[in-house]
């Protein structure tokens, strides 16, 4: 067995398609050059599984039955449990050293990154043959079955299949995907609001459950199977259900339009869709915050082509599309009116 193993997985920013990956829709994420690294080494002192985190400056001992800790370490613990059970492997006497330049809890898929990086380390450690498709499935199992956050496939898929220089178009229902190269004259800038959130402590799972209720009422497996929000459909739904359906159905159409604009190199039109998406997340899906709205307004007032929250919402970051030669001035403008902003 290898004595020391290094792995990493990148985060992602989602440009269009928030809350569609668990509704059978399409998404347009972009892998970013921020990652979570795992250094896996043998524990020569005890039989214990140890997690060391440079960011949190703490050490966690994993119990033999892989008991949850109800924190960030659950993605590591869950990865161990899934690998142990799936491949009938006894995992012990190892140390996970976790390092990261990917901010946690701001909507950049840090949970998928730490899961994928941990799984890659275990796969190398125990010489397991795993395809990329199987790796996506393993990472999903960790999040859904162990951590109990009912997200979709986008984050894991982007971490594994995405590229830094291309936007990923992904149909989450059939997992068909296409990489669309970025134009060098434009930049997607991530701005952290400083308002952190933890999905398991938000009403993320309640939103997902309501989507399932609406889909069942409309006799479809997934809401994104509905292509038009006509009067007949609207009459069947309560006000809350209609708001949810409006975001999901119209956002899926925005993703399809967005893909077309990107292929035509029409970034002006794509930016307008980003702002439309944010307004829907704010008014229909109700997952934005005052701070996220302020940053979107500031960026667009300055002259960005479009801006929106990224990730599930409830805090975190926004992403704004701007011409490359205006990035420096945008940052100065944002800091002037929102001093806590951090740029990635």
Q: Catalytic site residues?
A: 155
What is d(CA 162, CA 154) in angstroms, rounded to the nearest whole number?
10
Helix axis angle, 290-302 to 327-337, nearest 10°: 140
Q: Are strands 49-53 and 26-42 parallel, antiparallel or unpaired?
A: unpaired
- Please name which of 27, 333, 9 lies closest in space to residue 189, comparing C-alpha atoms: 333
Beta-ladder partners of 192? 317, 342
Nearest residue to 270 (alpha-carbon basis) of 176, 167, 171, 165: 167
Distances in Å between the Cα of 304 and the Cα atoms of 61, 101, 131, 295 are: 47, 26, 40, 11
d(CA 73, CA 209): 26
Q: Report the alpha-carbon distance of residue 336 to residue 340 in Å, rounded.
A: 10
Place of tokens 């609207």: 234
| CB 280, CB 250: distance < 8 Å | yes
């Amino acid at each position: 067995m290898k004595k020391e193993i290094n792995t990493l997985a990148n985060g992602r920013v989602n440009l269009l398609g928030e809350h569609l990956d668990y509704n059978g829709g399409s998404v347009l994420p972009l892998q970013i050059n921020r990652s979570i690294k795992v250094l896996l080494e043998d524990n020569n002192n005890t039989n214990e599984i140890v997690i060391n985190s440079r960011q949190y400056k703490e050490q966690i001992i994993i119990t033999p039955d892989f008991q949850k800790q109800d924190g960030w370490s659950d993605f590591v613990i869950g990865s161990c449990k899934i690998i142990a059970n799936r491949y009938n492997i006894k995992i012990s006497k190892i140390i996970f050293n976790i390092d990261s330049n990917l901010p946690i809890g701001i909507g950049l898929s840090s949970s998928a990154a730490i899961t994928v990086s941990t799984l890659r380390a275990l796969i190398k450690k125990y010489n397991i043959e795993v395809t990329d498709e199987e790796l996506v499935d393993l990472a999903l199992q960790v999040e859904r079955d162990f951590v109990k956050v009912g997200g979709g496939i986008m984050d894991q898929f982007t971490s594994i299949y995405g590229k830094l220089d291309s936007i990923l178009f992904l149909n989450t229902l059939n997992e068909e995907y296409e990489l669309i190269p970025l134009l060098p004259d434009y930049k997607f800038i991530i701005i952290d609001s400083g308002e952190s959130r933890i999905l398991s402590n938000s009403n993320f799972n309640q939103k997902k459950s309501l989507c399932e209720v609406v889909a069942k009422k409309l006799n479809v497996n997934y809401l994104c199977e509905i292509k038009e929000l006509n009067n007949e459909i609207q009459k069947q739904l309560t006000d809350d259900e209609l708001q949810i359906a409006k975001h999901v159905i119209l956002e899926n159409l925005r993703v399809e339009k967005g893909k077309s604009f990107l292929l035509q190199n029409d970034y002006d039109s794509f930016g307008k869709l980003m702002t439309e998406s944010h307004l829907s997340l704010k008014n229909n899906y109700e997952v934005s915050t005052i701070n996220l709205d302020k940053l979107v307004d500031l960026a667009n007032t300055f002259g960005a082509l479009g801006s929106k929250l990224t990730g599930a919402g409830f805090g975190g970051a926004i992403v704004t599309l701007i011409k490359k030669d205006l990035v420096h001035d945008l940052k100065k403008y944002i800091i002037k009116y929102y001093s806590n902003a951090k740029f990635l």
